[in-house]
A and B are shown apart, each in its own frame.
Chain A
Amino acid sequence: MRTLIKGGQVIDAKTKTNDCLDILIEDGKITEIGKDIEFVNGDIIYAQGKYVLPGFVDAHCHLRDPGQEYKEDIETGTRSAAKGGFTSIACMPNTNPVIDNEAIVKYIINKSKQDGIVNVYPIGAISKGLKGEELSEIGELKFAGAVAISDDGRPLKNSALMKKALQYSSMFDITIISHCEDLDLVDEGTMNEGYVSTVLGLKGIPSAAEEIMVSRELILAEYTKIPVHIAHVSTELSVDLIRHAKSRGVKVTCETCPHYFTLTDEACEGFNTLAKVNPPLRTKKDVEAIIEGLKDGTIDIIATDHAPHHPDEKNVEFALAANGMVGFETALPLCVTYLVKPGHLTMEQLVEKMCVNPSKILGLNKGSIEVGSSADLTIIDIDEEYIVDVSKFSSKSKNSPFDGFKLQGSVYYTIVNGDVVVREKVLL
């Protein structure tokens, strides 16, 4: 099986490539990169006027499989990811049962091979049952194929357990991802605490709830000299704290999500449950700080936190509504429209944050375009403008606050291990 991608603008951050090149794919691998590659007999993809990028790597998503397949499953989740240009995704362990043992990790890996159309990497739980009490079998999780551990959705309340989790996981060289939230400060809060929560009469979640926990993780990472990855950073002070820790040489990395650099808590007006997410949407100054953090490299990764929910879980009272929004199919256009087009990030920087850094942090051999690497590629047009229509999403769930947004940036092709899974914007 031979495929030639012809005439696209190829960007690879690892090899510092940004040039109009052809890419030859044979048997799932990239075998040649160059100008005007001679080619007969095979599939030719004409990519003139488009960018050819390493396939996007999502370090944070929820596939809801096993246990909540009415929201999403591995088949629909990976199809949605492919549509958004993602070729590798790491799924969080808050499934039912929780990914806290070898058997569930293997279930996900096997089911992904069978039903999935992109590479799926499970993230195991830090604590058994996500209860924050005892460590799960982290070594076994790692050897079964988990690429990181996290109690995402819940913080590890107990600082001593977090310290032990860092120390124990470092033995297996597995990344630990922290969901930062002080639950006492969150209390009954359902959106960001501030003027908008006052106007809506909704109980607020202070930004301090995130920042206090970020501080704890930074202090523990510095104390133990063990790396930590901070999930979904949403506030100005969190960015500052991480920037400061990095300057002290703390081994910290972090991610943010498209909704934190595009929306503010005003999106909750009218009790819009589609804008209910955890951490909550913050204020304009936070959005600006997130963008600044992306620009100066404080924030390493843009992850989706793809969180599918059934309409019955959103079409309820705001306080009862589930947290989260689907993210695969809007991630690229939001990055293009809000980061690349206004000049905050170059295309190379975007590739770093969506391909190179997530692969590096999760220890995947992905995120670059090199001879010999597996052919995971995404071909995009960054000028095409369109209106987001959630009804066309491939995800089983449609819970997105971006319905009706006019955005730029379309995924034309997604190629996973040499197989074209999205062709001319159509999922195969």
Chain B
Amino acid sequence: MILKSKDLLGLKEVTAEEIEYILNTAKTMKLIVTSKNKKAPHLQGKSIITLFYENSTRTRLSFELASKYMSASAANVSASSSSVAKGESLIDTGKTIDMMGSDVVIIRHPMSGAPHLLAKNIEASVINAGDGMNEHPTQALLDMFTIIEKKGSLKGLKVAIIGDVYHSRVARSNIWGMTKLGAEICVAGPSTLLPPEIEKTGVKAFNTVQEALIDADVVMGLRIQLERQKKGLFPSIREYSRFFGLDEKRLKLAKDDALIMHPGPVNRGVELSSCVVDSEKSLINEQVQNGVAVRMALLYLLTRRDSVENIN
């Protein structure tokens, strides 16, 4: 099997089989991440560029380490220190990187659709590391990997996604991906932070956190950004936390063995109480570790498309 597209722009565009293929490959990659000698030859001779127009710690580092663990040449371009700051267009920047021989360009951008524009205009594979409010597919892949590792499968699981769904690319990618693998998704958040007609995507939407939590197998908190308050989307962090914060008491509504997740970075005491973050049910640290494995799998599968195509 090979991935159909040269790029991974979102989980909206890929099939359930492709998702499972990536996640299965990640199992092997996790052995490398957790071993003492973190060096594998899979990406030898390949050039991987991260092009980040937004700040990031874990996603960027995770891609960089994934590249290096598999022996690729890796380099970073960040918007603030490059000709991007001089007003160069995305396509021009992309073509420049392309001509230097990159095989994969990993892009994070504040505007939805930027990776799609890049992918159309360059030869290299493009991986979306988060675009505006659209998608963050590798985050959703690592979330699914983490759940499957604990529960065996997503089929029939009830996943509650709580918080600012409107602005969340993580929520969107998880909705597309997990729905394809058979999970049932409930979202809850302040009504000003739920996207219009979200139920048409096949999820159930609630305005109370309690309704969404009942019998949940997985509970995912989303990061709330403080600047949303200034835009009048909710009155205060205090009120948000009072009605939508996840604490131990509320989590009793979920199943006893429910998993707690968060894409990070967590605002402790806002989306999740500190107790919940540090509890045994919390998978926040595993998510980070699995992130490297999933990104290794993806880089490997995208860069091997050419050779597989040639054999076939």
Contact = CB atoms under 8 A, between A and B. Distances in A.
A194 B196 contact: yes
Contacts of B134: 200-202
B133 A317 contact: no
B198 interface: yes
A111 interface: no
Given A317-B113, A318-B113, A199 B12 contact: yes
- Chain B binding site: helix, strand, loop or mixed by DSSP? mixed
B39 to A, nearest CB: 37
Interface in A194-219: 194-195, 197-204
Contact of B196 (A197, A271, A317): A197
A203 B197 CA distance: 13
A312 interface: yes
A194 B200 CA distance: 10
A403 B200 CA distance: 30
Interface in A289-325: 312, 315-320
Nearest to B121: A315
B196 A202 contact: no
B7 interface: no
B200 A317 contact: no
B132 A201 contact: yes
Interface string A96-131: 000000000000000000000000000000000000
A271 B121 CA distance: 14
Contacts of B113: 200, 202, 271, 317-319
Interface residues of A, number: 20
Nearest to A206: B196
A419 B296 CA distance: 69
B117 A317 contact: yes
A333 B210 CA distance: 55
A198 B201 contact: yes
Contacts of B172: 201
B200 A201 contact: no
A249 interface: no
Interface in A170-199: 193-195, 197-199
Given A271-B117, A315-B91, A317-B90, A198 B196 contact: yes
Contact of B200 (A193, A195, A202): A195
Nearest to A196: B197
Interface string A41-73: 000000000000000000000000000000000
A166 to B, nearest CB: 32
Contact of B112 (A202, A315, A316): A202
Given A194-B196, A198-B195, A198-B198, A316 B133 contact: no
B228 to A, nearest CB: 12
A197 B117 CA distance: 17
Interface string B174-199: 00000000000000000000011110
A207 to B, nearest CB: 11
B112 A200 contact: yes
B35 interface: no
A201 B136 CA distance: 11
Interface string B82-93: 000000011100
B217 interface: no
Contacts of A203: 133
Contacts of B197: 194-195, 198
A342 interface: no
B164 interface: no
B33 to A, nearest CB: 30
Given A198-B197, A200-B134, A316 B12 contact: no
A312 B12 CA distance: 28
A60 to B, nearest CB: 29
B135 interface: yes
A319 B12 contact: no
B116 interface: yes
Given A201-B134, A202-B112, A319-B111, A195 B117 contact: no
A198 B201 CA distance: 9
B132 A202 contact: yes
B147 interface: no
Interface in B84-139: 89-91, 109, 111-114, 116-117, 131-135
Most buried by A among B91, B113, B117: B113
Contacts of B12: 199
A412 B144 CA distance: 60
B132 A319 contact: yes
A58 B205 CA distance: 46
A321 to B, nearest CB: 10
27 contacts: A193-B196, A194-B196, A194-B197, A195-B200, A197-B195, A197-B196, A198-B196, A198-B201, A199-B201, A200-B112, A200-B134, A201-B112, A201-B131, A201-B134, A201-B135, A202-B112, A202-B132, A202-B133, A203-B133, A312-B89, A315-B117, A316-B90, A316-B91, A317-B113, A317-B117, A318-B111, A320-B111
Interface of B: 12, 89-91, 109, 111-114, 116-117, 131-135, 169, 172, 195-198, 200-201
Q: Give the top 8 A-B pairs by smallest Cβ distance, nearest first.
A: A201-B134, A271-B113, A201-B133, A198-B195, A195-B197, A317-B111, A201-B112, A319-B111
